[in-house]
Structure 1
Amino acid sequence: MSIPTAPTIVCSALSFAWPDGTPVCADLDLAIGSGRTGLIGVNGAGKSTLLKLIAGVLRPTGGTVTVGSDLGYLPQHLPLDAARRVDDVLGIADTRAALLAIEAGDADVRHFDAVGDDWDVEERARAELDRLGLPHVDLDRPVGTLSGGESILLGLAALLLRRPEVLLLDEPTNNLDESARERLYDAVRTYPGVLVVVSHDRVLLDLVDRIVELLPDRARSYGGNLSAYLELLDQERATADRLVRTAQTELRRQKRELAEAQVKLARRARTGRKAQLEAGLPKIVAGKLKRAAEVSAGKLKGTHEGRLDDARARLSEARDAVREDQEIRIELPETEVPAGRTVLVAEGLNTSSGLFGPTGLDLIVRGPERIALVGDNGSGKTTLLRLLTGAEQAAEGTVRLGVDGVRLLPQRLDVLDEDATVFANVRRFAPSASDAELRGRLARFLFKGNRPEQVVGTLSGGERFRAVLAALLSAEPPPHLLILDEPTNSLDLASVRRLEQALDAYRGALLVVSHDRPFLAGIGITRELTLHRGTGLTPPDRAVEDADPMPRHG
């Protein structure tokens, strides 16, 4: 693979709008060259749409996109037919079939044409699968038997096997467990071509060579990784805030000087009139003196008013330089749970396939503790959350709840009615709230103006997350136990910080499935449990006999 030196991706006056007229970008100019580029921006900024425009999945409504090299694209949601085989996704099914035919003694020339120079294609495919942590995935296996994380890694393996000079990745670490993320980080770190990645993963974004931030009116490029970008952003914000304070001080000074000048002019005018009366000057002379004084006073006043206008303009410019990113404002209900109170108890919980081992799974949640649930892809983390909340029926065991408000934020965000508006969905969760209250809550999640009337089925991934979160946190009764399944997957970096702050202030109990280590550190996890397929939790939670008596389900 040759490494391009000139810009490989060039967007010139690029514009795109959805069929309903909703604009995504307008007259965007952007050039991306060799190395690794992290593409960031708030939810709705158009990051995924831009990747689709570069990949040719979407056609621009204006301007041009030029890609000077072979391109590979891994979308955020990989559309895979469950019946397809792994070798077909890898793009080697025809070559494998030809190799098998040749090995069986069929010397037809079309088989040799199909193989070409790829006599080692199976070995290379296995090497890529092994490198990405999929040594157990057979080439003949149906895709439908893979987990979500395994499917993402399979899609990446297919691209790496092709060796494109330009690689586009859209949120590649979503749904990946910790070991899978490490393998993906290694693949990104060693990729020799041009790589553009859309991500909120702070570890991944610290591996890039530059950050491109999509702003409402332009794309801005920063040299260095995410940490360098955040440091520079903090410096810019501090400078902008300092300029605002300086401009405010100057504006106050100019207002004070104008007021003092007006007092002096009024005093001078009174003194002049008195002197004229005492001197008994003729009217014509007095009139000339009065006009001269008025001209002088007008010039002085104009000078001060001009300085005041200049001070106002400098303050306006300084305020414009202060970044005010659109971030969700999360206000969690006051749902304090007393220390030591039993919130949830699971005993002998299991599925029909025995996912949690021969004796099932035991778990107890007490008081306002914060539990992180981690584990490899396919270990059953999402299944466990659904069993705990009653969204799925357990084959064995029971679940006892000691609080009324238990809410699950699912990974698939499938708790809303796709055909109803955002407002109607939130109303369903909070039937007693007034329209004004609901619109106020939605505004804090950036659904302002007529945005609450948008149909859920038309929302982007980040918008959908905000709508689900608004619905769950508006629910009646308010949640004393929040159960979150990979909550940072669809959030921009600013909103992740807001979510961390909100959860850090939350007084109820938390059970969080996440592989985002900085996020878990930010919300103050007090206990970490690892789930293993076929064996249950590590460390095992067996202290359920001391739990308070509570209603059972399951």
Structure 2
Amino acid sequence: MSIINVTDLTFAYDGSYDNIFEAVSFQIDTDWKLGFTGRNGRGKTTFLNLLLGKFEYRGRISSKTAFEYFPFEVKNMDSNTIDVIEEICPDYVHWEVMRELSLLEVSDDVLYRPFNTLSNGEQTKVLLAAMFLKEDSFLLIDEPTNHLDMNARKMVSDYLRSKRGFILVSHDRAFLDNCVDHILSINKTNIEVQKGNFSTWLQNKEMQDGFELAENEKLKKDISRLTMAARRTSDWSDKVEKTKLGTTNSGSDIDRGYVGHKAAKMMKRSKSLENRQQTAIEEKSKLLRNIENSEKLKLSQLELHTDRLAELSAIAVYYGEKRAAGEVSFCIDKGDRIALSGRNGSGKSSIIKLICGENLTYTGTLRRASQLKISYVSQDTSHLNGSLSGYALENNLDESLFKAILRKLDFSRIQFEKDMSDYSGGQKKKVLIARSLCEKAHLHIWDEPLNFIDVISRMQIEELLLEYSPTILFVEHDLAFRKNIATKIVEL
């Protein structure tokens, strides 16, 4: 066990006027299994890079442990898997490799296959196994779940639960709940550490936010009441003070000493009220600093002349001689929220592309309603570059609405000026989601829309889909999202 101390950490990228971190201090134990959470663009990967010593910063990070970053960059993807493992951990022991792969249910024949022939899930498992062979290292695991199917996520999560000593960046709630014992969260104004899993942290945050909102309302009323009382007392003091210059109604002289004492007493009361008001204002300023903006999103689908939008009967999709998906039958009716499920490689994306109208080779029967309009969100974000304004114009989007949706998804205004190629993975996915929410369609089809997207935004999207009940077909390996949203599950 050792302690990682972070003291007064301040960091900004060269050329930026805004600090990513400012005077941040906390400490963590290297035996902890930490889930690292925070909204997209807050600096999770940046902080991992600071631990790795990649950037200069102000403040202090002290630790006696060595840090290792996942995913490891494999320089030669054509190498056999055993050679990749040796590159990561030169002094590995073969039986230990076999033990780790067995825990992850990876067959030992992958060791003698080229690494690039392994599936995404197999590559993730092999790299994790190899990195945990390195003794006395603290692993910085950056979003290992992207592109893993649900079975692979459960297996990797169980594997991590058996380990100790890592920081895990993930936005999958069920994945985090299963394998972490502490949460490291990047909030709007600080970084904090809490014991427990993600659900515990979220419950505590909601309770704290609720308390602060109630306290804020109470202080607003107190400030208003104290302001009015201080103003009235000050006015009374002025009036009493002015009577020192006159006479009473009966013509007798005024006791100016008594009047002056009364005026001073009232002025003192007015000052006391003003001090109480200032204290209330200072207390109010300490509240709401970390409450996340998660305004409700909106969506309106077009009405179609029929309740049945599409029907697939015994569909099989082919790429040359290879069958990518086979014997798939289901219907898409108005109001359905259908989760397309299956292991990686089972043909989910092929089925989606076929419904969207791509010219694929297939057998079976596909019927689509006439004049059906589909809004499609792809897995791929590599094509995003240039300005948001140019993207809105190119896709015939209402630019104001498009940017308003991105603001609700926690885009700062400064992001609007950047080239999209510089966005984080989560921010790029939000661009595709925002575009889809702007489009008028009868059917929304989303292929792994939540990869890289932060938890708060995931919950916003959940609320949207539950409130407006659009017709949607989606592929998503986030178990909590699928459980909350899907009205039907089609298993491939």
Normalising to structure 1: TM-score of the pair?
A: 0.78
Q: 1:474 offset after TM fit, Å?
A: 2.0
**Residue type at the aligned position of 1:195:** F
User: Does structure 1 retain, via aligned residues, the 8 Å contact 2:374–2:443?
Assistant: yes
- % identical aligned pairs: 23
Residues 1:378 and 2:345 are matched in the alignment = yes
Structure 2 match to 1:318? 284
1:521 to 470, 483, 487: 483
1:446 to 410, 419, 423: 410
User: Does structure 2 retain, via aligned residues, the 8 Å contact 1:40–1:198?
Assistant: yes
1:140-219 to 2 correspondence within 5 Å?
A: 140-191=112-163, 193-206=164-177, 207-219=179-191
Change (3 A) 1:143 1:330: farther
1:357-372 to 2 correspondence within 5 Å?
A: 357=326, 360-372=327-339
Q: 1:479 offset after TM fit, Å?
A: 2.7
Partner Cα distance (1:136, 1:474) in 2: 48
Q: Secondary structure of the equivalent of 1:229?
A: helix
1:80-119 to 2 correspondence within 5 Å?
A: 81-91=76-86
User: Does structure 2 retain, via aligned residues, the 8 Å contact 1:83–1:142?
Assistant: yes
1:52 to 39, 49, 53: 49
Partner Cα distance (1:280, 1:10) in 2: 77
User: Does structure 2 retain, via aligned residues, the 8 Å contact 1:38–1:196?
Assistant: yes
Partner Cα distance (2:75, 2:296) in 1: 35
Change (3 A) 1:392 1:60: farther
Partner Cα distance (1:451, 1:445) in 2: 12
Which of 380-389 and 420-429 deviates more? Answer: 380-389
2:266 to 290, 293, 300: 300
1:26 to 22, 45, 49: 22
Change (3 A) 1:421 1:526: same
Q: 1:439 offset after TM fit, Å?
A: 4.1
Partner Cα distance (1:78, 1:46) in 2: 21
**Residue type at the aligned position of 2:338:** I
Q: Secondary structure of the equivalent of 1:495?
A: helix
Q: Secondary structure of the equivalent of 2:112?
A: coil
**Residue type at the aligned position of 2:287:** A
Partner Cα distance (2:85, 2:259) in 1: 90
Q: Secondary structure of the equivalent of 1:158?
A: helix
Structure 1 match to 2:309? 343
**Residue type at the aligned position of 1:18:** Y
Structure 1 match to 2:380? 412
User: Does structure 2 retain, via aligned residues, the 8 Å contact 1:336–1:508?
Assistant: no
**Residue type at the aligned position of 2:183:** I
**Residue type at the aligned position of 2:79:** R
Structure 2 match to 1:355? 324
Partner Cα distance (2:84, 2:403) in 1: 45
| CA displacement 1:324-343 (0-9 Å, x = unmatched) | 54445453332165797121
Partner Cα distance (2:230, 2:19) in 1: 46
**Residue type at the aligned position of 1:144:** N
Change (3 A) 1:335 1:507: farther
Partner Cα distance (2:372, 2:278) in 1: 55
Partner Cα distance (1:86, 1:276) in 2: 103
Partner Cα distance (1:449, 1:156) in 2: 38
Partner Cα distance (1:312, 1:391) in 2: 65
Change (3 A) 1:417 1:245: closer
**Residue type at the aligned position of 2:438:** S
Change (3 A) 1:154 1:337: farther
Partner Cα distance (1:268, 1:380) in 2: 87
Partner Cα distance (2:19, 2:237) in 1: 55
**Residue type at the aligned position of 1:314:** A
Q: 1:92 offset after TM fit, Å?
A: 6.8
User: Does structure 2 retain, via aligned residues, the 8 Å contact 1:210–1:225?
Assistant: yes
**Residue type at the aligned position of 1:250:** D
Q: Secondary structure of the equivalent of 1:144?
A: helix
**Residue type at the aligned position of 1:526:** T
Q: Secondary structure of the equivalent of 2:140?
A: strand
2:436 to 455, 472, 476: 472
| CA displacement 1:351-380 (0-9 Å, x = unmatched) | 2211223xx433321111011112112222
Partner Cα distance (1:383, 1:150) in 2: 21
Q: 1:468 offset after TM fit, Å?
A: 1.9
Q: Unmatched 5+ residue regions in structure 1?
A: 96-115, 532-554
Which of 258-267 and 242-251 deviates more? Answer: 258-267
Normalising to structure 2: TM-score of the pair?
A: 0.86
Q: Secondary structure of the equivalent of 1:162?
A: coil
Change (3 A) 1:366 1:79: farther
Change (3 A) 1:449 1:515: closer
Count, aligned residues: 485
**Residue type at the aligned position of 1:473:** L
Partner Cα distance (2:194, 2:133) in 1: 31
Which of 168-177 and 154-163 deviates more? Answer: 154-163
**Residue type at the aligned position of 1:200:** H
Partner Cα distance (1:412, 1:327) in 2: 27
* Pair member with larger Rg: 1
Partner Cα distance (2:25, 2:231) in 1: 48
| CA displacement 1:152-183 (0-9 Å, x = unmatched) | 22221221333453122112222222221222
Partner Cα distance (2:238, 2:60) in 1: 65
**Residue type at the aligned position of 1:204:** F
User: Does structure 2 retain, via aligned residues, the 8 Å contact 1:350–1:397?
Assistant: no
Q: Secondary structure of the equivalent of 1:133?
A: coil
Change (3 A) 1:137 1:389: farther
Residues 1:11 and 2:43 are matched in the alignment = no
Residues 1:230 and 2:202 are matched in the alignment = yes
Partner Cα distance (1:24, 1:35) in 2: 25
Change (3 A) 1:374 1:314: same
Which of 31-40 and 335-344 deviates more? Answer: 335-344
Question: RMSD over aligned Cα, in angstroms?
Answer: 3.3
Change (3 A) 1:305 1:20: same
Change (3 A) 1:267 1:153: same
Structure 2 match to 1:401? 368
User: Does structure 1 retain, via aligned residues, the 8 Å contact 2:243–2:259?
Assistant: no
Q: 1:67 offset after TM fit, Å?
A: 3.9
